[in-house]
């Protein structure tokens, strides 16, 4: 599970994952709570830009944007001027703050629901081919089994992680 | 009885090993040269092993026993999806190769679930073309108990790997190695590499057992001899681009040439004064139309076994 989250690069966006596995029935329920993607795509919207003595320090709000931000800055200023300073921090030398805030980090919006869907598909045992999905704002619940989904499983899924 | 060993050392003066093998009736199963390094998989008569050890010591090389040399092992995953491949299957296969085995990785069509799980006749036949099969199953003890339809009808030894370490054995399998299951990354830790070692050791024991069984009713010709003769008499076999174009197995060989074009030539190869077709079953392999040769035990030879010396005029 941990490896699947790492591979998809959504560690910073997933708030919690609850699993209920009953091999005897058999049923597999997974509830994932996550932060919805913001739809922001300009660096000025995604990060705080501070002027330092030798350049600009860019602090991203979400680690998820790091790869795209680095790619965009490397394209705009070259690798020699852009340095990753931490998990959410980038240091750029010789750039104008107003100009850097206008750098477009990505063209398309992130399909976070698609990534969560992919995460669940990777984790759910492959033999459990009867599936039921319930999505709401920032939360997706999958019920997977070999038999038709029972009402009691739906109730269990609804209660899963409710104590938080 | 032949002993299988791996020599790892330099290329310099390795001809001494080849000459020694020729003198004592040993065989080179596989020779891999990488720069100035050499890995030599050999079969040598058991009583000559101390002398071979002495020579490899003089050449400053390492010699280790590898019972998996001369075996073809199938690693079977429940499906070809990313749930089951590549890590456990590939890492197990790589470790078995380091111990001398030739490995093939397969994925079943419906090896998943508790109710769905089954194998087709074709899949079973393909798995049985190997000398041993390793099934890489999942994490849940309860689910593993439903998986025996995958391997209970197989006539070859089976090792099962899975997640739970608490269970000692699985019905229908000759061995079980726990602590693996659906492992999603390379086996890097010492603990995981120890699991791989367990699988190789277990495979080695099962293969030795199978060889001892075969010794009760010996094969008409040793498969190593068949390999050498086929390579000599059908030189196209060595030109095939597949890895290990003539693969040694416990009870025969696999020749990676098209069956339709070459089966007759292979069957006509003369070994110890007899056509190969007389002492072996030659059939079309389910793997890419290759030629599969299974040497008959002496008890099953038509007309009984006649020692080669008595037939040479």
CB A58, CB A91: distance < 8 Å: yes
- Domain positions in chain B: 2-65, 72-213, 223-311
> For residues B200 and B192, what is the distance between their CA atoms, to the nearest angstrom?
13
pLDDT digits (tens, 9 = 90+) for B39-73: 999 999 989 999 999 999 999 999 999 989 999 99
Do the Cβ atoms of B138 and A125 come within 8 Å?
yes
User: Cα-flanking dihedrals φ and ψ of residue B286, to 5°?
Assistant: -75, -10
Kindly provide the residue ranges of all beta strands, DSSP E only, lying in chain B, ordered along the sequence: 2-10, 27-34, 37-45, 62-65, 72-77, 102-107, 132-136, 158-161, 175-177, 246-249, 252-255, 270-271, 274-275, 280-284, 291-295
- pLDDT, position A21: 92
Percentage helix, strand, coil, to 5, in chain B?
Answer: 35, 25, 40
Do the Cβ atoms of B114 and A127 come within 8 Å?
yes
ipTM of the complex: 0.71
- How confident is residue A164, by pLDDT bands cut at 50, 70 and 90? low
Measured between beta carbons, the chain B residues lying within 8 angstroms of A131 are: none
CB B5, CB B66: distance < 8 Å: yes
Do the Cβ atoms of A26 and B142 come within 8 Å?
yes
Measured between beta carbons, the chain B residues lying within 8 angstroms of A23 are: 140-143
Q: Is B309's pLDDT higher than 60?
A: no
pLDDT digits (tens, 9 = 90+) for A25-52: 899 999 999 887 766 788 888 899 998 8
Q: Which of B88, B112, B147 to mutate to test the interface with A (most CBs of A within 10 A)?
A: B112
- pLDDT, position B199: 95
The answer to whether B138 contacts chain A (CB < 8 Å) is yes
The proportion of chain B whose per-residue pLDDT surpasses 90, expressed as a percent, equals: 58
Mean pLDDT in chain B? 89
Distance from CA of A126 to the nearest CA of B (A): 6
Q: Which residue of A has its CA nearest to B81?
A: A126
Q: Which residue of B has its CA nearest to A144?
A: B113
The proportion of chain A whose per-residue pLDDT surpasses 70, expressed as a percent, equals: 98
- The residue that leads in pLDDT, A102 or A40, is A102
Query: Between A and B, how many residue pairs show a Cβ–Cβ distance under 8 A?
Result: 40
- How confident is residue A150, by pLDDT bands cut at 50, 70 and 90? very high
Sole residue written with tokens 């190593």? B224
The proportion of chain B whose per-residue pLDDT surpasses 70, expressed as a percent, equals: 96
pLDDT digits (tens, 9 = 90+) for A48-60: 999 888 889 999 9
Find all residues with CB under 8 Å of A155, minimum gap 6, and list them: none
Do the Cβ atoms of A128 and B83 come within 8 Å?
no
Which CATH architecture does the domain made up of B72-213 adopt?
3-Layer(aba) Sandwich (3.40)
Query: Which of B172, B162, B170 lies closest to B119 in space, CA to CA?
Result: B172
Tell me the CA distances in angstroms from B105 to A102, B66, B127, B157, B258, one per residue in order. Answer: 51, 21, 10, 16, 21
Q: What is the pTM of this model?
A: 0.81
Q: Does domain B2-65 have CATH number 3.30.70.260?
A: yes
Q: Would you say the CATH fold of B223-311 matches that of B72-213? A: no
> For residues A154 and A143, what is the distance between their CA atoms, to the nearest angstrom?
8
Q: Is A107's pLDDT higher than 70?
A: yes
Q: How far out from the chain centre does Cα B295 lie? A: 15
Q: Around Cβ B290, how many Cβ atoms within 10 Å?
A: 21
- The residue that leads in pLDDT, A10 or B233, is B233
- pLDDT, position B188: 87
Burial grade of B221 (CB within 10 A; 0-12, 13-18, 19 or more): buried
Q: Which of A1, A19, A23, A144 to mutate to test the interface with B (most CBs of B within 10 A)?
A: A23
What's the CA angle centered on B194, arms B8 and B179, to 5 degrees? 145
Q: How far out from the chain centre does Cα B273 lie? A: 27
Of the CATH numbers 3.40.720, 1.10.30, 3.30.70, 3.60.15, which one belongs to the domain with range B223-311? 3.30.70
Q: Is A72's pLDDT higher than 50?
A: yes
Do the Cβ atoms of A129 and B113 come within 8 Å?
yes
pLDDT digits (tens, 9 = 90+) for A74-85: 999 999 999 998
- pLDDT, position B243: 83
- pLDDT, position B313: 38
Measured between beta carbons, the chain A residues lying within 8 angstroms of B81 are: 126
Average pLDDT (A102-118) is 83
Q: Which residue of A has its CA nearest to B138?
A: A125
Q: Is B203's pLDDT higher than 90?
A: yes
> For residues A32 and A129, what is the distance between their CA atoms, to the nearest angstrom?
19
Do the Cβ atoms of A3 and B116 come within 8 Å?
no
Q: Is B312's pLDDT higher than 50?
A: no
- pLDDT, position B266: 94
User: B residues 73-112 near A, CB within 8 Å?
Assistant: 78-79, 81-84, 112
- How confident is residue B96, by pLDDT bands cut at 50, 70 and 90? very high
Query: Which of B69, B63, B33 lies closest to B49 in space, CA to CA?
Result: B63
pLDDT digits (tens, 9 = 90+) for B140-192: 888 888 888 899 889 999 999 999 888 878 888 999 999 888 888 888 889 99
CB B172, CB B148: distance < 8 Å: yes
Find the CB nearest B113 among A21, A24, A146. A146
Domains of chain A in sequence order:
2-36+111-159 (3.30.70), 43-101 (3.30.1360)
């Amino acid at each position: 599970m941990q490896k699947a989250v790492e591979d998809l690069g959504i560690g910073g966006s997933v708030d919690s994952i609850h699993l209920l596995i009953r091999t005897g029935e058999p049923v597999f329920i997974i509830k994932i709570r996550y932060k919805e993607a913001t739809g922001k795509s300009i660096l000025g919207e995604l990060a705080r830009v501070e002027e330092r003595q030798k350049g600009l320090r860019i602090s991203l709000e979400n680690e998820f944007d790091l790869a795209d931000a680095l790619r965009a800055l490397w394209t705009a200023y070259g690798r020699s001027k852009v340095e990753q300073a931490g998990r959410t921090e980038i240091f750029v030398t010789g750039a104008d703050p107003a100009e850097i805030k206008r750098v477009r980090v990505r063209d398309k919006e992130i399909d976070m629901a698609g990534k969560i869907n992919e995460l669940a598909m990777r984790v759910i045992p492959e033999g459990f081919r009867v599936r039921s999905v319930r999505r709401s704002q920032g939360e997706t619940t999958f019920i997977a089994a070999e038999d038709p989904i029972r009402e009691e499983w739906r109730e269990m899924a609804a209660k899963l992680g409710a104590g938080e | 009885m032949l002993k299988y060993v791996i020599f790892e050392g330099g290329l310099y003066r390795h001809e001494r090993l080849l000459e020694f093998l020729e003198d004592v009736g040993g065989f080179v199963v596989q020779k891999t040269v990488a720069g100035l390094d050499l890995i030599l998989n050999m079969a040598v008569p058991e009583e000559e092993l101390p002398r071979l050890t002495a020579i490899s010591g003089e050449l400053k090389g390492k010699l280790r026993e590898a019972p998996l040399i001369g075996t073809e092992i199938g690693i079977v995953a429940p499906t070809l999806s990313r749930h089951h491949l590549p890590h456990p299957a590939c890492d197990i296969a790589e470790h078995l190769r380091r111990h001398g085995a030739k490995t093939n990785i397969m994925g079943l069509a419906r090896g998943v679930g508790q109710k769905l799980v089954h194998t087709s006749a074709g899949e079973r036949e393909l798995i049985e073309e190997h000398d041993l099969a390793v099934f890489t199953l999942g994490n849940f003890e309860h689910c593993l108990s439903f998986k025996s339809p995958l391997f209970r009808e197989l006539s070859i030894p089976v090792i099962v790997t899975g997640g739970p370490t608490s269970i000692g054995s699985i019905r229908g399998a000759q061995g079980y190695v726990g602590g693996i299951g659906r492992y999603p990354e390379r086996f890097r830790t010492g603990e995981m590499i120890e699991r791989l070692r367990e699988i190789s050791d277990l495979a080695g024991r099962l293969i030795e057992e199978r060889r001892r069984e075969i010794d009760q009713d010996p094969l008409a010709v040793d498969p190593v001899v068949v390999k050498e003769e086929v390579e000599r008499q059908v030189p196209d076999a060595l030109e095939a681009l597949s890895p290990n174009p003539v693969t040694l197995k416990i009870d025969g060989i696999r020749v990676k040439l098209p069956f339709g074009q070459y089966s007759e030539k292979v069957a006509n190869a003369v070994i110890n004064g007899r056509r190969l077709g007389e002492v072996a079953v030659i059939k079309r392999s389910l793997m890419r139309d290759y030629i599969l040769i299974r040497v008959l035990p002496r008890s099953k030879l038509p007309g009984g076994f006649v020692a080669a010396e008595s037939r040479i005029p």
